[in-house]
Amino acid sequence: MNEVRPETREYLDGLFTPGLRIGGDAHTPYSWIEIAKVQEVTAIRLPSGRLVVDSPWNTEPPRELAFRIPPGEYLVDVSWANWPHLSDGYYNEYRQCAATRLRIRDEPVVTWELALGVGEDPALRAVGAGFEAEEAMGCFADATAWRPLTEPFRRHLTDVAAGFGGPVPGRDTEDRFELVREGLCEGFFDLVRDEAHRADLLTFGVPEGWGQVWEGRTHEGEVAVIVAPGHVPTSPWD
């Protein structure tokens, strides 16, 4: 197991600690990005224990993580950060997603490492293993239900290619799946349910272009949390 640098560990440890300063925006001097709030989003069903963390817009085989987790239902929470901007000589503060966390075990995390996909070379950790994040979006999903869970996204791409355009539908009520937007942190998260597999997909925000996934492990080496850093631009401990 490859131990991360101390400053990276400190950053990951602090992402869900309200009041902690996690870095600064290089374009906004004399300011800090600070964790403001940790909020529960929802619980998702992962009946196979095979976890995909990828872009829901991906039309290729999904990036399933190399390790398994016990099948079950798991809570997801989000860390919100206050992000100051300097514009026209004035500071404006926005609230943005610092990270999204899938909670597997309520035990302390003692080690962190970048999560690899099935078949990926461990050497990829040194260059930033992750996934292509189209539309600055990632998701947690059960691997065995990937096709039906991502159907609303593929159908939207098909509609756009055919010239229909329009936003992703807010709610789909077909028997096979349901896309739910209401009530999930004012629409920041989308939840797709597939009742045939009793499995779910939950979207979350990541930096545009590339998303990284971190696994936090317990003293016994078991996976306790999966964390995906969000949109907030940080330069930890600069």
SS (H, E, C) 120-158: CCHHHHHHCCCEEEHHHEEEEEEHHHHHHHCHHHHHHHH
Higher pLDDT, 176 or 92: 92
Other CB atoms within 10 Å distance of the CB of residue 84: 16
pLDDT, residue 183, reads: 56
Q: Which of 130, 137, 142 is nearest to 153 (CA)?
A: 137
User: What digits encode the pLDDT tens for the residues 95-142?
Assistant: 889 999 999 999 999 999 999 999 998 888 877 788 988 888 999 999
Higher pLDDT, 11 or 177: 11
Query: 187 CB contacts (<8 Å, ≥6 apart)?
Result: 181
Q: Measured between alpha carbons, how far is 29 from 208 in angstroms, rounded to an integer?
A: 23
Higher pLDDT, 5 or 198: 198
pLDDT, residue 173, reads: 39
Cα 136–Cα 137–Cα 142 angle in degrees, nearest 5 = 160
Q: Measured between alpha carbons, how far is 4 from 179 in angstroms, rounded to an integer?
A: 37
pLDDT, residue 26, reads: 67
pLDDT, residue 178, reads: 65
From residue 186, alpha-carbon distances to 41, 180, 182, 190 in Å are 10, 12, 7, 10
* DSSP structural state of residue 102: E
pLDDT, residue 235, reads: 43
Residue with tokens 């461990």: 122
User: What digits encode the pLDDT tens for the residues 206-238?
Assistant: 988 888 999 999 999 999 999 999 988 664 433
Higher pLDDT, 65 or 132: 65
pLDDT, residue 159, reads: 60
Q: Measured between alpha carbons, how far is 92 from 174 in angstroms, rounded to an integer?
A: 43
- Highest mean pLDDT (candidates 9-13, 47-51, 183-187): 47-51
